[in-house]
Structure 1
């Protein structure tokens, strides 16, 4: 089975369409959405409807922190004070863009999914709904220790990365090269991050996605060029913070 991995769509229609086209052309058998379907971008209703249609067609999807925030009334949003002002503005705007059915779909998403030897989760395995980041080898080792699954696929961190267990303990970071399959050696346990579809943050505006091939046990990342200028213009036209548009243009 060839599993397409799309994380952090962030209401970016142009990027989602480009990534779906790429993974379908690569011959994926299943699509997995790793959370944060909404937030930041100008097309939340479209991305939710697209995610719902994919799930109805057999895709898997998990809950992200921006999805959670968009469902909460302002008085119930305990994290609003800690959230960056631009992200908070996007959340408040997004709340007004979703109808009852769209909110219901987001609210129905599970915190994580275990599938064979794989764990799909937005942030991490040790506390899926506390939204801690796997931004270094120490956090990766903590996530590996918290699950019995051999491979954990997650989003939240907006840069592609791989971590694997070490015989002596801990974990080691590996930076995958786009388009180059990386064997996930069976004697190791892995954390695989495909990067963000809708808001990359590594200085490259191209969207991120990945493909995991269960037959060859390989993980391949992709960088997908898309019309990020059009997506940025939509953000400005919607009255959202200009910094969110700049991020799409610069990849940061």
Structure 2
């Protein structure tokens, strides 16, 4: 079973389009989008159109992340938004003003997904709404214990925008690099991943997207976002 996995798009529709084209060319059995369609980037409508197309054409499975929840009008979403730093709240509010109010409720969201030995969610294997990161060996061990408690051998997550593998005692934890706002030091290349499941074995290979980050920075600087927020957003691409 080959699964094309994309995550943390963050309203960067150009690398998303390139990733979808590459995945379709390579071929897959399932497509999995691990959430965070919006925020940070400034192509929200284009991103939503591409994701809707992937849902219809490819049967893409959509897992909800924190930056999907925040646009869906719940008490939890408002509490999350209120706790954001000013620059990030400005990005959320700018995005919300540039999409139809019901656009994020139109998707068939899931909190998690599993297949064979693999459990997948946006951030971690804990309860939905717990957005803790997996960025260290200790955090991976805690996640692995939760994955094993659910009855799985592997955990697959986005959220950290970095491709990592942690071979823990209880389970193996994978985190994926992002299409939007890459955060790997020294490698700001947008990425998607191809997952191969064979019996109880799971392998994951990253796929780079040939994309000039200057394009994203230029688009951000052309918006009505404040200069301070523009600078903060562009910093992730430098």
Which segments of 5 or more consecutive residues in structure 1 lack a partner in the other structure? 170-188
- 1:182 equivalent in structure 2: none
Deviation at 1:21, TM superposition (A): 2.6
- 1:249 equivalent in structure 2: 237
Aligned residue among 196, 200, 203 for 1:218: 203
Report SS of the residue matched to 1:102. Answer: coil
Which segments of 5 or more consecutive residues in structure 2 lack a partner in the other structure? none
Distance 1:245 1:131, change over 3 A: closer
Deviation at 1:85, TM superposition (A): 2.4
Distance 1:21 1:122 in 2: 23
Report SS of the residue matched to 2:231. Answer: helix
Count of residue pairs brought into register by the alignment: 228
- 1:32 equivalent in structure 2: 32
Confirm whether residue 23 of structure 1 aligns to residue 23 of structure 2. Answer: yes
Distance 1:25 1:227 in 2: 21
Alignment of 1:99-138 (within 5 A): 99-106=100-107, 108-138=108-138
Distance 1:79 1:124 in 2: 17
Report SS of the residue matched to 1:71. Answer: coil
Confirm whether residue 233 of structure 1 aligns to residue 218 of structure 2. Answer: yes
Per-residue CA distance 1:141-192 (angstroms, 9 max, x = gap): 22222232222211100111111222xx6xxxxxxxxxxxxxxxxxxx2211
* Contact preservation (8 Å) 1:201, 1:247: no
Alignment of 1:147-158 (within 5 A): 147-158=150-161
So what's the TM-score if we normalise by structure 1? 0.82
- 1:165 equivalent in structure 2: 168
Does 196-205 or 71-80 show the bigger shift? 71-80
Deviation at 1:67, TM superposition (A): 1.0
Does 9-18 or 134-143 show the bigger shift? 134-143
So what's the TM-score if we normalise by structure 2? 0.86
Distance 1:210 1:24 in 2: 13
Distance 1:148 1:202 in 2: 31
Aligned CA-pair RMSD: 2.2
Distance 1:218 1:101, change over 3 A: same
Deviation at 1:114, TM superposition (A): 2.1
Aligned residue among 172, 183, 188 for 1:205: 188
